[in-house]
Each structure stands twice: as C-alpha cells, then as structure tokens.
Structure 1
Amino acid sequence: MSKLLDSIKKAGVFFVATADGDEPHVRPFGAVEEIDGKIYLVTGNKKAVFRQLIANPKIEFAGIYEDGSWIRVSGRVRRTDDIKLKEKYLELRPTLQKIYKADDGIFEVFELVEPVGYIYSGTNVTKIEG
C-alpha cells in the first residue's frame, strides 16, 4: 500500500470538497482503495458529488487523526468505466455491494490523478510522497 493511501486510510472518514459553480460543497467519504498502484474513490452517479466531479475534476479532501494532526490531499479525478476495476473495488469493499453492483449503471469509480498530500501537526507540515 502506498504511503499516501495508508495516510488517508489512517484518518478513517475524510471530507471531500468539490464545487458546484461558485458554491463549495463538503461531504464525508470513507471508501478509498489502491488498485494496480493507483488510488480510487467511488460514488453513485445519482449524487450531486458525481455531477460536480464531472463538471470540475479538481478535488481536495481532509481527514483528522486521533492525535489531532490532519491530512490534506489535493489533485484531480478521472472517471473510469472499467468493469473489471469496478468488480475489484467491490471485492475490496464488500459493504458497498449492499448498494452497488459493478454493472448497475450507477456505481462510479474515479482515479485520483497527481495527488499531493500533506500531514499537519501544530506548526509542522510533512509532504507525503507516494
């Protein structure tokens, strides 16, 4: 597992920020996985977050660790229709199988492209490499 993904997962729930025109929107996410060395997020295409990511693929998210430090990651997302990738994601996150199927026409997978992550602890800032 990459150091960046490990750092994201350590936070458990993280908060994804998107934009709808000039209006910001933030919501909790918990599912993030690495497949073939790439980091992926998922959602359903009936949700506003899906429409926002399609319209503006720039993304930033943050999570808080138990010790009070936090992580912030920014980048872009790229949607994929790869059915094998969707199947693999659902294997890794079986709880999502209760609401999605790889071929249901609703389940969407986004690759996190060129992510940059930082961990903040008081006045210390550490860039997360790979």
Structure 2
Amino acid sequence: MKELEQLRKIKSVVFSTSWKNEPFSRIIDLMLVEDESLFFVTGRGKAFYRQLKNNPVVSITGMDENYTMIRLKGEAKLVSEKQMDTYRQKIFEENPSLKSIYSPSQRDILDVFYIDSGHGDLFELNNHPPTRKQFSFGLELSAPWGYEIGKACIRCGRCVPLCCTEAISSGDPIFTIDSSLCLECGKCVEVCPVDAISLAENTTDGR
C-alpha cells in the first residue's frame, strides 16, 4: 500500500501510546512493510513495550522531505512465537544498522510487533491550498472527516469568504464542504447563524 510504503521510507516516525490516562510519545523506526502490514521492534524491558501490552492502540505520525504528513491509528499486535525468529531475521536483513547495536546473542531481547489494520490521512502541506486524503488498510474506508453542513443551512453564504482554503461551495439545497481541503479551523462554525455546521462523526476521535 502506497501510504505504508511512504511511512517506511520516512522510517523514523512518532509513536504515541497511553499509560494510566497519560500520553507518551517517542521516535520509533518502521523496520518492514509486508502483506500490507507495518513492522517494528522494541525491547521487552522498555516502557514502550509495557504500554503496548496494556493498550495496543497507537497513533503514528511522520513527515517526509516534501512536507507530506502521514498519520494513522491502528492496533499493534505481537508477532506469534512461532514466527518471531523469522521476522527478527528479516528485520535485521532489511535494517543492517541494527547489527552494530545488537550482536547475534543479544537480538532475542527485541520483540516484533505489527499493525495490519488502521485508518489515517495523508496531508500534502506543500500543495496550495494543502490537501488531505483519507486511507485505510485492513478495514473498510470510513466516512469523510472534518466539518460538514447539515440540513439547517439557510444558504446565507457567511462562511464562504472566511474559508482560507476555499473548501466551501454553494449547493442546492445546502452548501457543502470539501473534506480534502478542510483544515478544521472552525471559523465557519463560529459565523453560522443557525448552527448548521458540525464535526463529522469520524472527527470526534482526536483527529
């Protein structure tokens, strides 16, 4: 999948987890993409490992040299004991720099995790205006995110000139918002006289 390969190319990305209702983030290297799954490793003694075992839902964010930001949310799963050595070997072959850190006798302290389903978005910050594309893997593509205009719209047009990306267009019977252009700044919500604009259901998960 293109987005997973882009994350792998970035390689060093931000992984966010939670522990006792507190957020934690760190840079983790994505080691392998195979069968539309992302693979990474961590030592069994690390706090990151304990956080993954306690709550496997993670958020990943990365940005490449062209200011393309990719973020996704998914569940990290531990590779089965039967396959662990196979994937450790693959990861060391794909990432030779690891060999300078872990000798053959030390490598078994690293456990391999994978993410085989999730959803996210690709944010092209170098475009004018910036554009976003939603994606998913191992799951059905969810409904559009961002703000949406409901049936209460009276077509007054107050929101249109205030949108910095020109995401709002006049429609019949109501105006519409292009989610690929919406920056979710909320200006349109503040000026709507009839409270017709609200966040789409998929946006309530902390996007």
Report the TM range for the smaller structure's normalisation: 0.7 to 0.9
Contact 2:11 2:31 in 1 (8 A): no
Give the deviation of 1:34 after TM superposition.
1.6
Q: Measured at CA, do residues 55 and 107 of structure 1 come closer, stay the same or move farther in structure 2, by a change above 3 Å?
A: same
Identity of aligned residues (%): 26
Indicate whether 1:39 and 2:46 are aligned: no
Q: Point out the structure with the larger strand share.
A: 1
The 3-state SS of whatever aligns with 1:46 is coil
CA deviations over 1:89-112 (Å, ceiling 9, x no partner): 111111112333487441110011
- 2:19/2:51 contact within 8 Å kept: yes
Paired with 1:10 and 1:103, the residues of 2 have a C-alpha distance of 26
- What is the TM-score with the length of structure 1 in the denominator? 0.84
Partner of 1:98: 100
Compute the displacement of 1:36 (Å): 4.5
Unmatched segments (≥5 aa) in structure 2 = 138-207
Contact 2:30–2:38 under 8 Å retained in 1: no
Instruction: Show structure 1 runs of 4+ deviating over 6 A.
Output: none
For 1:10-21, list aligned pairs within 5 A.
10-21=9-20
* RMSD, matched Cα: 2.2
Find the aligned partners of 1:77 and 1:32 in 2 and give their Cα distance: 14
Q: 1:127 aligns with which of 112, 116, 134?
A: 134
Q: Which structure 1 residue ranges, 5 or more long, are not aligned?
A: none
Offset of residue 114 of structure 1:
0.8
**Which gives a bigger RCO, structure 1 or 2 (Cα 8 Å, sep 6+)?**
1
TM-score normalised by structure 2 residue count: 0.56
Corresponding pairs, count: 129
